[in-house]
Structures are given as C-alpha cells and as structure tokens.
C-alpha cells in the first residue's frame, strides 16, 4: 500500500513558520502511524521529531492529530484511516518545540497543582489498601487517564486562559476526592472553587470528545461542581445549628 504522509514541520531555531512536508511511504505490512513515522525518520529524514515510548497506548506520549482527529499514533493503524493521504499535526494550542513535539509543561504544571496522589495518614505498606469494587467503579474512568494532553490541547478555555487548570487535572482531582482512601481536607481541594478551576469550564465537552481512553473529563468537572455546592450547603447548615 502506498501512502502520502503530509507532516507538519517546524524547527523554531531555523524556520520562520510551521509548514507541511510530504513524504511518500510504501509498506506491505500492517503498520501503525508511529511505526510509519519511525520508518520515515529512519529512512528519509532523521531530523523528524516526535514522541513515543510504550507503543501500547499506555504512556500517553504519542498523542497527535491524525487526519483531523486526536489520537494516539501507536494505536492508530494505517489501514484504519481509509485514506492514502495521511496528514499529521502536533497537538494544537501548545508551543511546538520541534515538529510533532509540543511543550507539555503547562499541562503537567496544572496537574501538579492538584496534588495527583493519594493523601492519607494510613499505612498501606502491609497488604495495600483495597477498596470495594463499587467504589472503584465510580473512579475507574478517571484512573484510566494516561495524561496524553489531548483534552488540554482541545479545550478552548485552556487555549485562551493560562490560569485554567484544564480538564485532565480537574478530572484527576475528582478521582482522588472520590477515592475513599484519600483524606485530603476540604480546605485543600476546594481551592478549585474558582474561575481558574471548575467554574472556568465552558462545558463544550471537547475534552470528552477527543479523549483516546474514553475518559469524560467534563463529567468529572461537573461532579466536582456539585460536590462543592453540597459541601458548602452542609457547612452553612452546620454553622446555623
Ligand atoms: S483525560 Fe483523556 S485526553 Fe485527557 S489527558 Fe487523560 S487520557 Fe488524555
Ligand atoms: S507510545 Fe505510549 S501511548 Fe503511544
């Protein structure tokens, strides 16, 4: 099968603007987009830059836009694209460091702000701390997030407001707030009760639409909003009594 790869190239050290470059690619084997990019890099242009690691849709590093759709290049098979023209672009709304490699710092800085780990005084060292399956079911989709950054890149609010934490970080916070093992106090997690937090979301659901792991970050943001309101009401009534 013959393909024409049209890949967005940009080296900020020498290019004035990003531009598309065409590569002809032929293979008789069933290959993924990442394998084709590796072949192109190895055989045609060793300066082509892109990220990957696990090649099993687990590490989240190969997210890009393939024929207009956000996806993981390692799990996207060429024959599934039903086209001999394959247009590859980096995640939008993020600074291009080189070709398909974007600066993920704002995404991970937002994630770190919500403290993405279980906070508890309990000692889990012996035998761990298992939770009920029904409790796990409530947070499983958020646990499945592989931090690929697609939702952050597609989010119109994150693209215009650098203070907005973004869908992945907020959904991840909901995952910990709902986890019965996590004992972070309300005073800590309620810091997202702001425009840069849950109230910044425009609820356009782009994040739900683009997630390659079927996480629905906007649902997590909505759930956090509801939880904040309920906690606030509880506190008002407690104060009045
Ligand atoms: S929620 Fe989905 S799109 Fe967003 S970072 Fe996680 S896996 Fe990627
Ligand atoms: S290389 Fe890890 S998700 Fe694609």
Report domain 105-240's class: mainly alpha
* Atom in ligand 2 nearest the alpha carbon of residue 53: 1
User: Ligand 2: does its nearest atom lie under 6 Å from the Cβ of 55?
Assistant: yes
Residue 232 — pLDDT band, cuts 50, 70, 90?
confident
Residue range(s) occupied by CATH 3.10.20.30 in the chain: 2-102
Q: What's the pLDDT score for residue 198? A: 97
Cα 15 from Cα 8, distance rounded (Å): 12
Cα 220 from Cα 63, distance rounded (Å): 21
Beta strand extents in the chain (DSSP E only): 2-9, 19-26, 63-66, 69-72, 85-89, 96-98, 101-102
User: Ligand 2: does its nearest atom lie under 6 Å from the Cβ of 58?
Assistant: yes
* Cα torsion 76, 81, 209, 166: sign: positive
* Atom in ligand 2 nearest the alpha carbon of residue 51: 1
Residue range(s) occupied by CATH 1.10.1060.10 in the chain: 105-240
> Over the stretch 145-183, which tens digit does the pLDDT of each residue have?
999 999 999 999 999 999 999 999 999 999 999 999 999
User: Ligand 2: does its nearest atom lie under 6 Å from the Cβ of 106?
Assistant: no
For domain 2-102, give its CATH number from 2.160.10.10, 3.30.1060.10, 3.50.50.60, 3.10.20.30. Answer: 3.10.20.30
What is the CA(177)–ligand 2 centre distance, in A? 28
- Using a cut of 0.75, tell me whether the model's pTM lies above it: yes
What is the CA(220)–ligand 2 centre distance, in A? 24
Alpha-carbon torsion angle 141, 144, 147, 148, nearest 10: -90
Residue 241 — pLDDT band, cuts 50, 70, 90?
low
In this structure, the residue with its CA closest to atom 2 of ligand 1 is 211
CB-neighbour burial class of residue 120 (10 A; exposed 0-12, middle 13-18, buried 19+): middle
In this structure, the residue with its CA closest to atom 4 of ligand 1 is 151
Closest Cα to residue 63, out of 222, 167, 212? Answer: 212
Out of 74, 104, 144, give the residue to mutate to test ligand 2, the one with the largest number of ligand atoms within 8 Å of its CB.
74
Q: What's the pLDDT score for residue 210? A: 98
- Strand pairing of 85-89 and 2-9? parallel
Range of lowest pLDDT (47-56, 81-90, 118-127): 118-127
Range of lowest pLDDT (52-56, 75-79, 186-190, 205-209): 186-190
Out of 69, 140, 217, give the residue to mutate to test ligand 1, the one with the largest number of ligand atoms within 8 Å of its CB.
217
What is the CA(63)–ligand 2 centre distance, in A? 7
Cα 38 from Cα 51, distance rounded (Å): 10
User: Ligand 2: does its nearest atom lie under 6 Å from the Cβ of 1?
Assistant: no
* Atom in ligand 1 nearest the alpha carbon of residue 70: 3
User: Ligand 2: does its nearest atom lie under 6 Å from the Cβ of 60?
Assistant: yes
Q: What's the pLDDT score for residue 237? A: 79
What is the CA(148)–ligand 2 centre distance, in A? 9
Q: Tokens standing for 182?
A: 């996590």
What is the CA(53)–ligand 2 centre distance, in A? 5
């Amino acid at each position: 099968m013959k393909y024409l790869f049209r890949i967005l190239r940009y080296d900020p050290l020498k290019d004035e603007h990003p531009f598309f470059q065409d590569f002809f690619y032929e293979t008789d084997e069933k290959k993924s987009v990442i394998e084709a990019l590796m072949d192109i890099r190895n055989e045609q242009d060793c300066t082509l830059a892109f990220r990957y690691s696990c090649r099993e849709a687990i590490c989240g590093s190969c997210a890009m836009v393939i024929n207009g759709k956000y996806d993981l290049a390692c799990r996207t098979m060429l024959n599934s694209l039903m086209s001999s023209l394959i247009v590859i672009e980096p995640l939008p709304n993020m600074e291009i460091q080189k070709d398909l490699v974007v600066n993920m710092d704002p995404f991970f800085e937002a994630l770190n702000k919500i403290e993405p780990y279980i906070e508890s005084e309990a000692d889990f060292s012996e035998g761990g701390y298992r939770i009920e399956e029904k409790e796990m079911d409530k947070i499983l989709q958020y646990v499945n997030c592989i931090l690929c950054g697609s939702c952050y890149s597609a989010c119109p609010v994150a693209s215009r407001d650098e203070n907005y934490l973004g869908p992945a970080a907020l959904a991840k916070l909901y995952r910990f707030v709902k986890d019965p093992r996590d004992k972070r106090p309300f005073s800590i997690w309620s810091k997202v009760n702001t425009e840069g937090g849950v109230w910044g979301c425009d609820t356009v659901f782009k994040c739900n639409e683009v997630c390659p792991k079927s996480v629905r970050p906007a649902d997590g943001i909505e759930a956090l909003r509801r939880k904040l309101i309920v906690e606030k009401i509880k506190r008002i009534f407690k104060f009045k009594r």
